Amino acid sequence: MFPKPKSVLVPNTYAFESEPMVKATGFREYDARWLFNKEINLMGVQALGMGLGALIAELGVPQDIVTGHDFRGYSASIKYALISGLMAAGCRVHDIGLAVTPMAYFAQFELDVPCVAMVTASHNDNGWTGVKMGANRPLTFGPDEMTRLKAIVLNADFSNRAGGSYQFHENFAARYIADLTARARLKRKLKVVVACGNGTAGAFAPQVMQAIGCEVVPLDTEPDYTFPKYNPNPEDMAMLHAIRDAVLAHQADVGLGFDGDGDRCGVVDNTGEEIFADKVGVMLARDMSAITKDAQFVVDVKSTGLFVTDPVLQKQGAKTTYWKTGHSYMKRRTHELGALAGFEKSGHFFFNTPFGRGYDDGLLSAIAICEMLDRAPDKSMADLKNALPKTWSSPTMSPHCADEVKYGVVDAVVRHFEALRRNGDKVAGQEIRDLVTVNGVRVTAADGSWGLVRASSNKPELVVVVESPVSEQRMHDMFEAMDAVLRTHPEVGEYNQKI
């Protein structure tokens, strides 16, 4: 019998080294995230592996699984603890070693393996760890699978069996890079800043971009798990400003920034101005719908309203559906609708046939951006951006809110705005034109300005985004209106960044 996990154990004690610790809040909506040694220990990770193996068997899927790990000082040890649990559950493990997350997704196809468990904390700060999981390529787990996994692990409801095995696939990265770069080289000579924040993508991104024909200016591409400059997150202004400075210093055509596990890509144009990923999505949607008739797209509720109002997309017959934020939700919806692509404001992009296999890959997104520029040889990245209708958009802003209370706070905020709309009350001085409550609440005023509040799916935070097609002042008005409601909840703390 394997012990039932405890929610709290103290490091440097007999109990910590003898029992599994797994905090329940680490099982999130579509993946798992914990503070290592504070919320989960290695025996807890082993329990997670045993639980995942049991769930895969319960789902009736062959127990063949790909594993890999990101570049953090503790990720390899966590992966091997996970592997020990998976093998105890009877899984046949295919280990691809150090990898970006999309490399693990690619391995499911390349090795013909149905399941995946990628050890990564994505863009979270050092100290965090986690696992992105799936048992039906190219999809990853959603709330149903995560809820069941949580129950299995926390109750130690394991069904271990013989037959587990381990295989290491040496130099698997070469196969991934060969697949990404098996395409026509760019006709246009592009100088590209490739920024990795010393994260995992630095081991692979420069050679991928060189192979498609780019002149690469490397920026913080040496993997260093202390992250000495800034956290590798292309939504954070620190990383975007570093890319801006490099683009201007080297007179580059574009700056591309990758997050810690390489499934997202951030963009800075040739003038040094960051382009938030939802606007990049509009630019790509314009490009793709020009060469694909009746293109359909899926975007998350954090994204710009231009996907519906842009006259070029309308003229080209493109249709867009708004959906829940989160790589797993977006991947699933894009797959279900057979959409050409899905775009998320965080920078997760999902390309279906003929552009991709449906999973999010920051390097494939970077290639798509370069190929868009290749198809517009007389236009700069700034030209393509400036051709969009003007809107004023905030970055993603995240006030602290504990995992145990954040969903309750968001439910209360949703009820508040629903009541305002029923009563005909105004928000930021205008009537409410539309409310979308598929994922938190997105409030649109009469002039098209909107604000969003939702719970973060992977950190103890809320998420706030605002945009206005009218003016910068109206963007600020919407932020003040949303923030005023949040300030009525004492559980909501300080923002990581604000406009």
Question: E strands of 208-345, at which residues?
Answer: 215-219, 254-258, 265-268, 274-275, 296-300, 319-323, 341-343
Tokens of 187: 């006709």
- C-beta atoms surrounding 438 within 10 Å: 14
- One-letter amino acid identity for 314? Q
Residue with structure tokens 């300005």? 449
Laid out side by side, the sheet with 349-351 consists of: 319-323, 296-300, 341-343, 349-351
Beta strand pairing call for 128-134 and 32-35: antiparallel
- Annotated catalytic residue within 122, 346, 456, 457: 122
Burial class (CB in 10 A: 0-12, 13-18, 19+), 278: buried
First to last CA, the chain: 53
Q: What are phi and psi of 165, to 5 degrees?
A: -150, 165
Note whether 311 and 289 are within 8 A (CB). Answer: no
**Directed axis angle between helix 277-291 and helix 362-374, to 10°?**
60
Strands 191-195 and 254-258: parallel
φ/ψ of 147, rounded to 5, equals: -65, -45
Distance CA 355, CA 295 (A): 13
| DSSP output for 193-230 | EEE-TTSGGGGTHHHHHHHTTPEEEEES-S--TT-SS-
Q: CA 223, CA 67: separation in Å to the nearest integer?
A: 20
What is the C-alpha to C-alpha distance for residues 125 and 175, in angstroms, rounded to an integer? Answer: 30
Contact 300, 341 (CB under 8 A): no
Peptide bond into 138 cis (omega under 30): yes
Is 122 part of the annotated catalytic residue set?
Answer: yes
Residue 266 backbone dihedrals phi, psi, to 5 degrees: -105, 155
Instruction: Tell me the β-bridge partners of 258.
Output: 265
Euclidean distance between CA atoms 16 and 264, whole angstroms: 35
Residues labelled catalytic: 122
